[in-house]
Amino acid sequence: MSTPITHPSLSLPAPRRWTTLLGWFVVISVLSWAWQGAEMRPGLLIENADNMAILAGDFFPPTWGNLSHYIELMLITIQIAIWGTLLAIIVAVPCSLLCSENLVPWWVYQPMRRLMDACRAINELVFAMLFVVAVGLGPFAGTLALFIHATGVLAKLYSEAVEASDAGPREGIRVTGAGRIEEIIFGLIPQVLPLWISVSLYRFESNIRSATVLGMVGGGGIGVALWETMRGFQYAETAAVMLVIIVAVTGLDMASQRLRKRFI
């Protein structure tokens, strides 16, 4: 019994060792190729250590004179994230159903998926710049930018949940004579809802982080203060703004995480 078992295991390592070597070769070439492209020069960190120490020194101590103004701006940022996420959820639900290959024919889900890919591929900042031109400076432009990008992300994540769902309950409802939409409302949504909620909350967290920089391109919120203080070399003010962002983002992340745990 032992010879037929050991025999194949002896012949196996040879091709595997060869492919492993090739794998390592590919990994190392990609890394060095990227190193050159990214102009990695760690030496600069040491050379310019004095400059950086001076710059870092400018940040401390933070000045708290404008704190209430920064908190106000941070609240606007949160408001942008709330509406950007909510609009995205509302639009992503139907879009995700149209992206799912177990619900619609290919000529519906293929174009729909490409459309969602496009929404996702372009960063919020780019959309914000476009919307600033369209609707003017301010938080509304930022909200729309978040909304478009998050729709692309959520539609993909939602549709993945839909495609992983069990077809049985839907068949069970189909044979009772119910229509296609009832089949989705009663047979599909209850299955995917916990995951959908969790994904939406996670998106809300990352939308808050994204919303903090929208102001840099005119999209409103705390990013405006970030941009203005940095351009005016008021690094002590910048430090205060950054601390406000860190506290707010951490707090909301923790709250949302708690909420998410309830649904999984």
Q: Which of 186, 202, 227, 263 binds another protein (CB under 8 A)?
A: 186
- Considering only the stretches 16-24, 91-99, 171-179, 241-249, report the one whose residues sit in contact with another protein under the rule CB under 8 A: 171-179
- Would you count residue 175 as binding another protein (CB under 8 A)? yes
Q: What is the x/- site pattern for another protein, positions 203-232, by CB under 8 A? A: ------------------------------
Smallest gap from Cβ 195 to another protein, in A, equals 12
CB 98, min distance to another protein, A: 18
Piece in contact with another protein (CB under 8 A), picked from 59-67, 139-147, 182-190, 200-208: 182-190
Contacts (CB under 8 A) with another protein, residues 49-108: none
| By the rule CB under 8 A, 23 interacts with another protein | no
Listed residue (75, 225, 196, 92) closest to 146, CA to CA? 92
- End-to-end CA gap in the chain: 48
Q: Is 193 in the site for another protein (CB under 8 A)?
A: yes
Is residue 224 within 8 A of residue 133, CB to CB? The reply is no
Contact status: 264 vs another protein (CB under 8 A): no
User: What is the Cβ-side half-sphere exposure of residue 135, based on CA atoms within 13 angstroms?
Assistant: 13
Q: Is 197 in the site for another protein (CB under 8 A)?
A: no
Tell me the closest approach of the beta carbon of residue 166 to another protein, in angstroms: 9
CB atoms within 10 A of CB 90: 13
For residues 178 and 172, what is the distance between their CA atoms, to the nearest angstrom? 10
Contacts of 188 (CB under 8 A, 6+ apart): 162, 165, 169, 170
With contacts defined by CB under 8 A, name the span among 82-90, 91-99, 114-122, 179-187 that binds another protein.
179-187
- 69: tokens are 């103004």
Q: Any contact of residue 191 with another protein (CB under 8 A)?
A: yes
Return the biggest CA–CA distance within the chain: 82
Name which position in 187, 215, 221, 223 contacts another protein (CB under 8 A): 187
Q: CB–CB of 98/104 below 8 Å?
A: yes
Choose the stretch contacting another protein; rule: CB under 8 A; options: 14-22, 24-32, 188-196, 198-206. 188-196
Contact between 173 and another protein by CB under 8 A: the answer reads: yes
Instruction: Assess contact for 143 and 80: CB atoms under 8 A.
Output: yes
Among 111, 168, 232, 251, binds another protein (CB under 8 A): 168
Which of 240, 220, 264 is closest to 81 using CA atoms? 220
**H helix intervals, the chain:** 2-11, 13-37, 43-47, 49-59, 67-98, 106-121, 124-135, 139-163, 167-174, 180-182, 189-214, 222-231, 235-263
Chain residues binding another protein by CB under 8 A are 168-169, 171-179, 181-182, 185-187, 190-191, 193
